[in-house]
C-alpha cells in the first residue's frame, strides 16, 4: 500500500442533545478538534491542515485559517466552507490533500448550534420560488418519496420499518439523544402525527446540537499511532443543483449518488455486497430506501422490500446506522455528516456501541436538501 494512503486516525463526537444551553459553538468546535487530535495520539502542532468551522468569537468567523493560531503553527491546507468541513465531503477533500502531498495531517469537523432560535431547516437564505410555498427540507424529501411510492409501489409501512429499525438501534445506545425512548414498532411510526405525507413524525430525524471532528493522515504517519488506522479506500461526490431553489424531482435525483457509488467502489476495488456496515444519511425513512438502490444493494425501486426484509437491522445482511443515526442518535446540522464517519471508524476499530461483528469494510453516505447532493466514502480496516 502506498505510503501516502490516506487514513483516519482520530475521531471525536461531543455530547449530542436537543439543546446544549451551557455550551457555545466555539467551545464545541474546540472540544471536537482537541478530542480528535488526542484520540489520534497527536498534538495540535502535528496538524498542518484544518477544514473546521470557526464560529468565533475570536479569529475571523467563517475563516478556516483562524485555526492556525489555535494549532500553534502555519497551516498548509484550510477551508472556509461549512460543507467542506464535514462528513464524506470533508474527509475526501482532506484525503485528496494528504494523498497529493499538500498537507500531511488534516483535521476536519466543527459544530453548529442549530435548534436554538432557528427556523425550519432550509437553505439559510431566502429562496424566491420556494419559501412562499412553505417548501422546506421535510417537504422536499417528501416530494421525492411520494413519486417513488407512485412509481414502484413503495409503501408507508416499508418506510415505517426503516424508521423503527434505526430508531431502535438508538433506543439502546447510551450516547443517543433518544436513548431509552422506544422501542418502536412500524405501527408506532404509522400512528405518529403526520408532518408532510408520506412522512409521519417518527419517519423524520431529530434536530439537535453538538460537534464532531476527525483526523486524516498518511498510512506512513499512522504506523506509530495508538489506534488501528482506517483507510479511505474510495469515494465519490455528486451534485445535481443548489439546495432547495428548485424542487427535488424524483426523475432527476432518484438515482443521485449511483455514479458516485460506482466510482467509489471501483476505486476501492470492492463490491457493495462486500460492505459490512453502512453509515447513511437518514433525515427520514425514505432516504435510506433510496440509498439502498443507488448503493447497488438492489435494483431501482426495490429498496422498500429490501429495507422491510430485515436486511438493514443489526445482524441483517446490510446493517444501517447501528448508532441510531439521525433518527435517534443525533442530528446537529452539517456535522451530523461527520458523526457518520465517526460511527464507521468505530465499527472498523471494533469499538462501536452496537458493534457489527468483525466489520472490515464500511460505507459512509451523506446527502441532503431533498437529495440534491450525495457524497460517499468507502472505509476499510487496514490489514
Whether residue 198 has a cis bond before it, omega within 30° of 0: yes
Q: Does the footprint of another protein cover residue 131 (CB under 8 A)?
A: yes
| Binding residue for another protein, selected from 128, 224, 273, 358, defined by CB under 8 A | 128
Judged by beta carbon, residue 251 or residue 273, the one nearer another protein is 251
Rounded CA-CA distance 93/229 in Å is: 18
Residue 108 parent element (H or E)? strand 106-113
One residue of 36, 91, 139, 162 binding another protein per CB under 8 A: 139
Chosen residue from 60, 133, 183, 187 binding another protein by CB under 8 A: 133
Task: Give the shortest CB-200-to-another protein separation in angstroms.
Answer: 10
150 touching another protein, by CB under 8 A: yes
Our CB check for another protein shows the closer of 83 and 143 to be 143
Grid coordinates given for 317: 445482511
Which of 109, 122, 170, 234 touches another protein (CB under 8 A)? 122
Alpha helices by DSSP H, listed for the chain, are 25-39, 67-71, 87-100, 137-152, 156-171, 186-191, 219-222, 250-253, 258-268, 285-294, 303-308, 325-328, 336-349
Interface segment toward another protein; rule CB under 8 A; list 16-24, 139-147, 217-225, 290-298: 139-147
57 or 119: whose CB is closer to another protein?
119
Residues in 219-278 at the binding interface with another protein, rule: CB under 8 A: 245-247, 249-251
Round to whole Å and give the CA distance between 151 and 352: 38
Distance from chain centroid for Cα 176: 15
Q: Does 193 bind another protein (CB under 8 A)?
A: yes
Phi, psi of 67 (to 5 degrees): -70, -20
Interface with another protein, residue 373, by CB under 8 A: no
**Do 365 and 320 contact (CB within 8 A), yes or no?**
no
By residue count, the chain amounts to: 383
Contact string (CB under 8 A) for another protein, positions 197-216, x = contact: xx------------------
Site of interaction with another protein (CB under 8 A): 119-120, 122, 126, 128-136, 138-139, 142-144, 146-147, 150, 193-198, 245-247, 249-251
Amino acid at each position: 500500500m502506498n505510503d501516502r494512503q490516506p487514513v483516519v486516525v482520530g475521531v471525536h463526537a461531543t455530547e449530542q442533545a436537543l439543546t446544549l444551553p451551557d455550551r457555545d459553538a466555539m467551545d464545541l468546535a474546540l472540544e471536537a478538534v482537541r478530542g480528535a487530535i488526542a484520540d489520534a495520539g497527536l498534538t495540535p502542532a502535528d496538524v498542518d491542515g484544518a477544514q473546521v468551522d470557526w464560529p468565533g468569537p475570536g479569529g475571523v468567523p467563517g475563516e478556516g485559517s483562524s485555526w492556525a493560531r489555535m494549532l500553534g503553527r502555519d497551516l498548509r491546507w484550510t477551508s472556509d466552507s461549512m460543507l467542506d468541513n464535514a462528513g464524506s465531503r470533508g474527509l475526501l477533500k482532506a484525503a485528496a490533500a494528504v494523498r497529493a502531498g499538500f498537507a500531511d495531517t488534516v483535521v476536519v469537523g466543527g459544530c453548529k448550534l442549530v435548534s436554538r432560535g432557528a427556523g425550519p431547516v432550509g437553505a439559510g437564505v431566502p429562496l424566491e420560488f420556494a419559501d412562499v410555498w412553505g417548501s422546506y427540507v421535510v417537504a422536499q424529501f417528501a416530494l421525492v418519496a411520494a413519486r417513488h411510492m407512485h412509481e414502484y409501489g413503495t409503501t408507508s409501512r416499508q418506510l415505517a420499518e426503516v424508521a423503527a429499525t434505526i430508531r431502535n438501534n438508538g433506543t439502546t445506545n447510551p450516547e443517543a439523544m433518544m436513548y431509552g425512548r422506544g422501542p418502536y414498532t412500524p405501527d408506532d411510526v404509522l400512528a405518529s402525527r403526520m408532518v408532510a405525507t408520506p412522512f409521519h413524525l417518527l419517519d423524520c430525524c431529530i434536530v439537535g446540537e453538538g460537534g464532531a471532528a476527525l483526523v486524516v493522515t498518511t498510512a506512513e504517519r499512522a504506523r506509530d499511532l495508538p489506534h488501528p488506522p482506517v483507510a479511505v479506500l474510495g469515494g465519490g461526490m455528486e451534485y445535481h443543483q443548489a439546495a432547495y431553489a428548485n424542487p427535488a424531482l424524483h426523475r432527476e435525483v432518484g438515482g443521485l449518488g449511483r455514479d458516485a457509488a460506482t466510482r467509489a467502489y471501483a476505486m476501492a476495488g470492492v463490491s457493495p455486497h462486500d460492505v459490512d456496515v453502512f453509515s447513511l444519511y437518514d433525515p427520514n425513512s425514505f432516504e435510506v430506501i433510496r440509498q439502498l438502490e443507488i448503493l447497488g444493494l438492489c435494483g431501482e425501486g426495490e429498496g422498500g422490500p429490501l429495507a422491510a426484509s430485515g436486511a438493514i437491522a443489526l445482524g441483517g445482511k446490510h446493517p444501517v446506522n447501528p448508532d441510531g443515526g439521525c433518527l435517534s442518535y443525533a442530528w446537529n446540522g452539517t456535522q451530523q455528516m461527520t458523526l457518520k464517519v465517526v460511527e464507521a471508524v468505530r465499527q472498523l476499530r471494533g469499538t462501536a456501541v452496537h458493534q457489527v461483528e468483525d466489520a472490515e469494510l464500511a460505507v459512509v453516505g451523506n446527502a441532503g436538501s431533498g437529495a440534491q447532493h450525495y457524497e460517499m466514502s468507502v472505509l476499510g480496516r487496514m490489514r
